[in-house]
Every structure is written in structure tokens, then in C-alpha cells.
Amino acid sequence: MLKLHYNLEKFSLGLVAAIILAASVGGFVEIAPLFKIHETVDLPDDLRPNTPLELAGRRIYMREGCYACHSQMVRSLADEIDRYGPYSLASESAYDHPMLWGSKRTGPDLARLGNKYSDVWHVRHLIDPRSVVPASIMPSYPWLTQSLDTSMLRDSLATLAKLNVPYNAAMISAAEADAFAQSRPDSEGAEKVSERYGESVAVRDFDGDPSRLTELDALVAYLQSLGRLTTASFEVMSEDGQ
């Protein structure tokens, strides 16, 4: 094998062809199963898509590069389950575009973060991480107090609907209104958010400032939804006797 590789190195075109062949085989092995994924992954009956506010928070999460330090995948190892909770199921991420499972853990895994800490804790942690975790090396994000831009929410939901995320016409047309209403529990639109996305959706002022809709509202709403879009993983663990 080494001799073959040595001989290929003498001929650049041959080496390039071998690299392309190896990459093609690897790519096919990874991509081909995706065409049959709908036959192998059963969607949980209670799986819901992100609300417009949570979706906006997810975009901020990606914009700020949070995925570079935090994974969203609990592996089926005893120590991970003890620390983070039920292991992750592919079906939980069926509506995620892109999928953010990841593998880099400079910070802890966030797959089961929802409702683990209060909204106040998250706000303080994002603005000044060391005020709640003295040993934290996470950077601060003081600019998240700026107003949330909701102008692209309708287009975002419409695009995801084309990718089989179950956003209907009513959800798409009310995207901006629902984003505001989710952070204002006393508003007329708050009940509509629950009607469209389910009673389990958190409808409250996330950043502590009810006078404005901010990026903090969106990001905290998203973080509080992690691991809470379905109960499938907890049911599987229960069936396994864990």
C-alpha cells in the first residue's frame, strides 16, 4: 500500500484522481442514507417546531457562534446521561435546519438546557458570564440588549415550510405578531401563540424588560426550548428502565 501511494505521488494527476475517488466514496456513504431518512426516523406525535421568537433566537445563537463551543447532542453513555439527561434522538432534530448537534465542548452540552435555569440566570450569564459562573471563559454579549429585528421571520418560516417543517399559512402570516406576543403574556396575542404552537410553549417576558422586544428575549426563549420540543427522549429512557 505504501509503495502504491509512493508511486501515486510521482504522478500528480493520479494522486488527484485518487483523492477525488476517496472523497467521492466517503461522501456517498454519508449522503446516500439521507435519501431514506424519512423511512428510518419516526417523528414523535408531540414534536413541535420552534416558535418565531425561538427561531429568531436560534439564528442569533448561530450568528454569535455558540455552536463552536457547545454541542446539542447527549451521547448514550452513562456519564453523559447522568450529567445532561436522556440521550439525544435523531427525531428530536427533524425540524432543525441546519442541525446543530456538533461535537465541540469548550462549554457544556445544551441539548437539555430548557428550564434548567431561570430566565434571570440566562440574562445575567449572557451579559456577564462570570457573575454567575466565576470560572467561566465564555465571552460576554452586552449587545444582545438591542431591539430584535423581526422583518425576516415570515420569510424564514415560509422557507422552512418548504423543507417540510409544519408551519402553516396562519403561522407564517402571524410570525412577527407571535414573536412580540410570546414575550408579552398579558397581550391579546399571547393566547394565539399557545393555540398555534401548543400549551407547553413558554409565553413570558424573558429579558425582564416588557417595554421592548430584544435579542435577549429571543435567545433566552430559544435556550429555554432546548430539549422541550418533545418528550420522546424521556419516554424512551423510561421504556429502557433508566
Domain with 24 in it? 2-40
* Exposed / middle / buried, residue 185 (Cβ in 10 Å: 0-12, 13-18, 19+): middle
Q: Are residues 174 and 57 in the same domain?
A: yes
User: What CA–CA distance (Å, rounded) separates 204 from 183?
Assistant: 5
Q: Per the structure, how many domains does the chain have?
A: 2
Q: Are residues 178 and 147 in the same domain?
A: yes
Q: What is the pLDDT along the chain (242 residues), one digit of tens a residue?
A: 677 767 767 777 777 888 899 999 988 887 777 666 666 678 888 999 999 999 999 999 999 999 999 999 999 999 999 999 999 998 899 999 998 999 889 999 999 999 999 999 999 999 999 999 999 999 999 999 999 999 999 999 999 999 999 999 999 999 999 999 999 999 989 999 999 999 999 999 999 998 899 999 999 999 999 999 999 888 876 666 55
Write the CATH number for 194: 1.10.760.10
User: What CA–CA distance (Å, rounded) separates 127 from 216?
Assistant: 9
Question: pLDDT of 199-228, one tens digit each?
Answer: 999 999 999 998 899 999 999 999 999 999
- Whole-angstrom CA distances from 96 to 18, 108, 163 are 35, 20, 10
Q: Are residues 116 and 202 in the same domain?
A: yes
Q: Are residues 176 and 154 in the same domain?
A: yes
- Neighbouring CB atoms inside 10 A of 174's CB total 19
Q: Are residues 30 and 122 in the same domain?
A: no
Q: Are residues 227 and 146 in the same domain?
A: yes
Question: pLDDT of 33-74, one tens digit each?
Answer: 766 666 667 888 899 999 999 999 999 999 999 999 999 999
Is position 74 within any domain? no
pTM: 0.85
